[in-house]
Structure 1
């Protein structure tokens, strides 16, 4: 990777005097620019959606292939199957071994990455544009022709199991898994992406082959390419390497919609620790929701803005109760995401810190934020959002989100316009709508015998004790 950036820096210095200008949108007086890009969307005959983005800045080729599957499609009893399948894609194909794939991408000075989420398996390749054909050959090969060799499967399984065992000893991972299990109860989204030790151990090669055959289809994927090439050249290359990918009927089960949290529920996970790791929250909203931008500005004021946020000012700065305190919203694609607030505190101050957290949630619902708080939050997003489109990978992410979340073209421009126009009344409206102090879940990883939990509205019958 270092080698690639040396080459890129040289290219920038040599081409800066004749660089193409990218169309820009600017808010009057904001001093901030957000870019729009020359792009073209097409669908190949096999159903693969291709989005070509021309970016004449440096000689880079960035391709992101996103398959619409993930841990949410794991069969019951085979949790971790999607993740294990994804981990094997670049571990050998019909034409190349794992070491050959690694050596070829290393020769270019670039990167080839595969990961797994709940509803997507993203694959990406990043090289200099002179290696565009090799990059697309490798990317298409690992998604279309993986061999899933037994020795590689066992090696990946062993690494995943080791990671699962380590995570059981990490309080933050434990509380995060407990929180997700509670907030998405009854939905396939409740399970960890990596699966459980028992289920991962039960997965065999036939399971992996079947999962790949069912979900890894061109009509179930989107290819985003951002490159120092014309959109026509990009589409031609995409057709050359992905046109032979065979389309098949897509038989994907409908995922149950997560149900909103009703009432209050607390799960204490007993661990040998000297602090409490707390996660509080409930279901949130979809990324396409018209209130999304107002919600993220509201949350910046509540707990997403670091030391300028209310939660941090109250719990950490003024009271000195927590080592960390925060809140955030994770929006969903076709389902509601979630709101999570959390903190890390001494076991003896757990109740006081949690009550303070609830007080801040009640306050932002019932009292308007100040003009200064709103303007500071707006300024943060007006300054930070444009900086998320500087690298080729960041630009690719913009278009990936556009496709996966079903957002309209150049949505990032509209996002800034909406943020700029937000009012105090809108912030309080979304706080009342998307923060629910009466229906929530709390997960705490702590030493249970040392904890005396006294939280407003929580009674003993709402509390359940478990092990990691």
Structure 2
């Protein structure tokens, strides 16, 4: 019965008329709890539920150099028992309350996502608080989670997609936290114990840099004290992120050998931070270049005209300490070298010529039209609120965003493309047995033996 109720609730949440961006912006309330915790709230009483998105700054960036993967391990452990509830009892309690809670570690953040029924709000908050403040880290649960993480790491060593991403990061950011997988490595994961997880909790769940989005059947007067109950007991230790990451100067292509009929390539170079005034024009430009699916130049030139791949893409990756522009594709071993040359040529053509009026109009139409889809559930709205709050925006950005897209001109595209796109700076990693590509420069700290 509980599972059926959850499924029905999820369907109703999807079908309900959630606030559109402009309406959401008008309805955002900035709530400050009695204890000083800030949150953005959109009250939506149409459904008897509340969605929370809580983003803590740091994530894997705060892992000790000797224990990469600690934050990721912690995320997997927070639903494995807390207080006087072991893993099985915690799961039963969450199911009884219809509480959905998830925890995840990213390169720069640690995220808690939760959905709960209004009628069970107090009990659900208490259970979530218990997970955040009193996780058990029982030995059997630690070993079970460790086994799952290690299995995933071993699988990644033979998966071309995972291997290419790991190798590219290691090549671009040697010796930096950005250069290592969020999941860590097998040696470090094998060493992580309960005390390490307790230390990881104190680092990861630090509310000194916190963003909270809340959407649903709750008012500001109720939310304020509830935030203190949920988060007030967490550490509030001042923390300053490390300085900007310094990408490696060495560029070019490196081949990581792997016996597979298709090669997988990841390529990219420095991009823009989210706070850069040119980010929106760059976002539109990238949609035209490779972010727009079948309408993008890369898809048209690499797939449709030459049949070199099933799919090719580009995207902006604005991390906190470095902005990147990335691309990727899979292609037959015999044709990967040609596919990479076409991508570099399109990179250069966009930098040289910019976009056409037709391309710009189509990009604007898609990007403004698709924006409301980010707001079609309470959980998505909460995620948008927390994400914008974390980036330092005000709630009015929700209303202004489409106007910023519409204001981008052809001159903006040309200027930003010339500033951003530099094919000679591309760092490329290919996993497979591509024909016609020499091995290239080695990747520090990433050898065949380690794989």
TM-score by length of 1: 0.88
> In the alignment, is the contact (CA less than 8 A) between 1:65 and 1:124 conserved in 2?
yes
Partner SS, residue 335 of structure 2: helix
Matched with 1:134 is 123
1:293-442 aligned at under 5 Å gives the runs 293-333=280-320, 335-442=321-428
Q: Deviations over 1:109-135 (max 9, x none)?
A: 341111111121111211222222122
Matched with 1:184 is 173
Matched with 1:49 is 38
Residue 96 of structure 1: CA displacement?
A: 1.9
Q: Residue 435 of structure 2: which of 448, 451, 454 is its match?
A: 451
How many aligned residue pairs are there?
A: 445
Structure 2: how far apart are the matches of 1:230 and 1:466? 55
> In the alignment, is the contact (CA less than 8 A) between 1:281 and 1:440 conserved in 2?
yes
| 1:146 paired to 2:135 | yes
Matched with 1:238 is 227
Compared with structure 1, are the counterparts of its residues 111 and 461 closer, same or farther at alpha carbon in structure 2 (3 Å cutoff)?
closer
Q: Deviations over 1:103-161 (max 9, x none)?
A: 12222334111111112111121122222212211221111111212221111111100
Compared with structure 1, are the counterparts of its residues 177 and 47 closer, same or farther at alpha carbon in structure 2 (3 Å cutoff)?
farther
Compared with structure 1, are the counterparts of its residues 2 and 117 closer, same or farther at alpha carbon in structure 2 (3 Å cutoff)?
farther
Partner SS, residue 431 of structure 1: helix
Structure 2: how far apart are the matches of 1:145 and 1:278? 43
Residue 377 of structure 1: CA displacement?
A: 0.4
Matched with 2:8 is 6
Q: Deviations over 1:159-203 (max 9, x none)?
A: 100110111111011001111222233421111011111111122
Q: Deviations over 1:255-293 (max 9, x none)?
A: 241124535232211111111111110121111222121
Compared with structure 1, are the counterparts of its residues 161 and 46 closer, same or farther at alpha carbon in structure 2 (3 Å cutoff)?
farther
Q: Residue 260 of structure 2: which of 252, 273, 282 is its match?
A: 273
> In the alignment, is the contact (CA less than 8 A) between 1:180 and 1:190 conserved in 2?
yes
> In the alignment, is the contact (CA less than 8 A) between 2:21 and 2:372 conserved in 1?
no
Partner SS, residue 348 of structure 1: coil
> In the alignment, is the contact (CA less than 8 A) between 2:253 and 2:440 conserved in 1?
no
Residue 7 of structure 1: CA displacement?
A: 4.3
| 1:249 paired to 2:237 | yes
Residue 415 of structure 1: CA displacement?
A: 1.8
> In the alignment, is the contact (CA less than 8 A) between 2:207 and 2:235 conserved in 1?
yes
Q: Deviations over 1:192-223 (max 9, x none)?
A: 01111111112222211222234423334333
1:101-250 aligned at under 5 Å gives the runs 101-243=90-232, 245=233, 247-250=235-238
Structure 2: how far apart are the matches of 1:123 and 1:22? 22
Compared with structure 1, are the counterparts of its residues 276 and 387 closer, same or farther at alpha carbon in structure 2 (3 Å cutoff)?
same
Partner SS, residue 92 of structure 2: helix
Compared with structure 1, are the counterparts of its residues 97 and 339 closer, same or farther at alpha carbon in structure 2 (3 Å cutoff)?
same
Structure 2: how far apart are the matches of 1:157 and 1:409? 40
Runs (5+) with no aligned partner, structure 1: 26-33, 455-459
Partner SS, residue 84 of structure 1: helix
Structure 1: how far apart are the matches of 2:20 and 2:66? 51
> In the alignment, is the contact (CA less than 8 A) between 2:271 and 2:316 conserved in 1?
yes
Mean Cα displacement is larger for which, 196-205 or 181-190?
A: 181-190
Structure 2: how far apart are the matches of 1:267 and 1:45? 55
Structure 1: how far apart are the matches of 2:4 and 2:422? 47
> In the alignment, is the contact (CA less than 8 A) between 2:71 and 2:204 conserved in 1?
no
Q: Deviations over 1:8-57 (max 9, x none)?
A: 667999xx9xx9x95874xxxxxxxx642423334446553333331233
Compared with structure 1, are the counterparts of its residues 9 and 246 closer, same or farther at alpha carbon in structure 2 (3 Å cutoff)?
closer
Residue 393 of structure 1: CA displacement?
A: 0.9
Matched with 2:270 is 283
Matched with 1:75 is 64
Partner SS, residue 287 of structure 1: coil
Partner SS, residue 219 of structure 1: coil
State the Cα RMSD in Å: 2.5
Q: Deviations over 1:305-351 (max 9, x none)?
A: 11111111111110011122111111123x22311111111111111
> In the alignment, is the contact (CA less than 8 A) between 1:164 and 1:197 conserved in 2?
yes
Compared with structure 1, are the counterparts of its residues 8 and 92 closer, same or farther at alpha carbon in structure 2 (3 Å cutoff)?
closer
Structure 2: how far apart are the matches of 1:445 and 1:383? 37
Compared with structure 1, are the counterparts of its residues 412 and 11 closer, same or farther at alpha carbon in structure 2 (3 Å cutoff)?
closer
Runs (5+) with no aligned partner, structure 2: none
Mean Cα displacement is larger for which, 258-267 or 394-403?
A: 258-267
Compared with structure 1, are the counterparts of its residues 274 and 141 closer, same or farther at alpha carbon in structure 2 (3 Å cutoff)?
same
Partner SS, residue 311 of structure 2: strand
Structure 2: how far apart are the matches of 1:24 and 1:461? 47
TM-score by length of 2: 0.91
Structure 1: how far apart are the matches of 2:423 and 2:330? 20
The one of the two structures with greater contact order (alpha-carbon pairs below 8 A, sep at least 6) is: 2
